[in-house]
Amino acid sequence: MINDQKICFSGVQPSGNLTIGNYLGAIRNFSNYSDAYKCFYCVVDQHAITVRQVPAELRRRTYETLALYMACGLDPEKNTLYVQSHVPAHAELGWILNCFTMFGELSRMTQFKDKSSRHADNVNAGLFTYPVLMAADILLYQTDVVPTGVDQKQHVELCRDIAERFNQIYSGTFTVPEPMISQSGKKIMSLAEPTKKMSKSDENPNAVVYILDDKDTIIRKFRRAVTDSDTCVRFAEGKDGINNLMTIYSCFTGKTMEEIEREFDGKGYGDFKTAVGEVCADALAPVQARFAQLLADKAGLEAQMKKGADEASYYARKTLSKVQKKLGFVPVPRG
């Protein structure tokens, strides 16, 4: 615990363009934790390379993800914002924890099964073991809580198992973290296939609304969203498309499902889809404007990268040194 504050950690991959699912389910909520927790928010570029990346695009998106963190309200004076590969302790602890993680545990990870089926030509060892690196990310900072989506909860549970296993062998070393799942916007679905999660890697551009889409594009995508043959705006079983749109509208307006049903009573799907697009575009407009300002100041972003890396490294090295000492590693001799 740092200065008697509990620790919060999360990270976002700089792979693909971030969606409103990333925004509503994660990034927008991050700033809510800044007063109650000491927060570490990382651009997890090392995780991104489990899938082949174009180097120039990965560099660009690393800057963009950091800028989006700040554009979405993360104050760098209240939060530690940094790039994962700038803190070598992440990879170092990742290797150590690989030796305390069972093959069977990793083989049960549903995201590995999903990604290996989608990238059958590149089922690499990193794709298999990246939940261990994720555990290292979290445990390095003695993290108490991890804001996460439902789809990542399994990885946090594995992290807890690894921490408890290490603690049992070497006595109390790691804080065992708790997942913290937002109740609003916890899972935003595809506009084209509303039984699937909205994914930044979706090949259908109409299935996904990106944080940086312009207003006309956002409204057009919502107008094309898949619904059903009914015309009544109501949240009900079997109405996956409308349920998803109502969830998105609720996240942006704060209205309950009952309030949304009353607001659109007697109106058709066309009116509702347009309204969802408009509230989404209006909410993202100030984020996009601030993002453009931040991205234009490359020197400012790099200064933040260094500041964040220095601060994160200080805390990460304390945990890594503790782990290495317990394992019996000989420290670098002084002098």
- CB-neighbour burial class of residue 317 (10 A; exposed 0-12, middle 13-18, buried 19+): middle
Q: How far is Cα 224 from Cα 179, in angstroms, rounded to an integer?
A: 35
What does the domain layout of the chain look like in residue ranges? 6-181+298-327, 205-292
Predicted local confidence at residue 40, as pLDDT: 97
The CATH superfamily assigned to 205-292 is Tyrosyl-Transfer RNA Synthetase (1.10.240.10)
Rg of the chain, C-alpha, whole Å: 21
Amino acid in the structure at residue 189:
M
What token pair was written down for 179? Answer: 């997942």
Q: How confident is the model at residue 184 (pLDDT cuts 50, 70, 90)?
A: low
pLDDT digits (tens, 9 = 90+) for 224-258: 999 988 888 999 988 999 999 999 999 999 999 99
Predicted local confidence at residue 154, as pLDDT: 87
Categorise residue 169: left if φ over 0, alpha if ψ from -120 to 50, beta otherwise.
alpha
Predicted local confidence at residue 293, as pLDDT: 97
Asked if the model's pLDDT at residue 12 lies above 80, the reply is yes
Predicted local confidence at residue 141, as pLDDT: 98
| Lowest-pLDDT choice from 91-105, 171-185, 283-297 | 171-185
b/e burial code for range 64-91 (CB count within 10 A of at least 16 → b)? bbbbbbbbbbbebeebbbbbbbbbebbe
**Mean pLDDT to the nearest integer, 188-208:** 90
Give yes or no for a contact between 83 and 137, defined as CB atoms under 8 angstroms apart: no
Q: How far is Cα 317 from Cα 331, in angstroms, rounded to an integer?
A: 12
- Percent over 70 (pLDDT), the chain: 96
**Mean pLDDT to the nearest integer, 34-48:** 94
Q: How confident is the model at residue 108 (pLDDT cuts 50, 70, 90)?
A: confident
pLDDT digits (tens, 9 = 90+) for 130-147: 999 999 999 999 999 998
Cα dist. 153→8, 143, 158, 179 in Å? 15, 15, 9, 7
Through-space distance between the first and last CA atoms of the chain, rounded to whole angstroms: 32
Predicted local confidence at residue 173, as pLDDT: 96
Predicted local confidence at residue 119, as pLDDT: 66
Which of 99-108, 177-186, 259-268, 279-288 shows the highest mean pLDDT? 279-288
The CATH superfamily assigned to 6-181+298-327 is HUPs (3.40.50.620)
Asked if the model's pLDDT at residue 118 lies above 90, the reply is no
**Mean pLDDT to the nearest integer, 188-215:** 91
Asked if the model's pLDDT at residue 2 lies above 60, the reply is no
Number of residues that this document lists for the chain: 335
Q: What is the pTM of this model?
A: 0.89
Predicted local confidence at residue 3, as pLDDT: 53
pLDDT digits (tens, 9 = 90+) for 275-308: 999 999 999 999 999 999 999 999 999 999 999 9
Q: What average pLDDT does the structure give for the chain?
A: 91
Predicted local confidence at residue 256, as pLDDT: 93
Asked if the model's pLDDT at residue 149 lies above 80, the reply is no
Closest CA to 163 of 93, 106, 103: 93
Q: Which residues are catalytic?
A: 115, 197, 200
Say which residues have a Cβ less than 8 Å from residue 66's Cβ, sequence separation at least 6: 43, 81, 83, 301, 304, 305
Q: How confident is the model at residue 1 (pLDDT cuts 50, 70, 90)?
A: very low
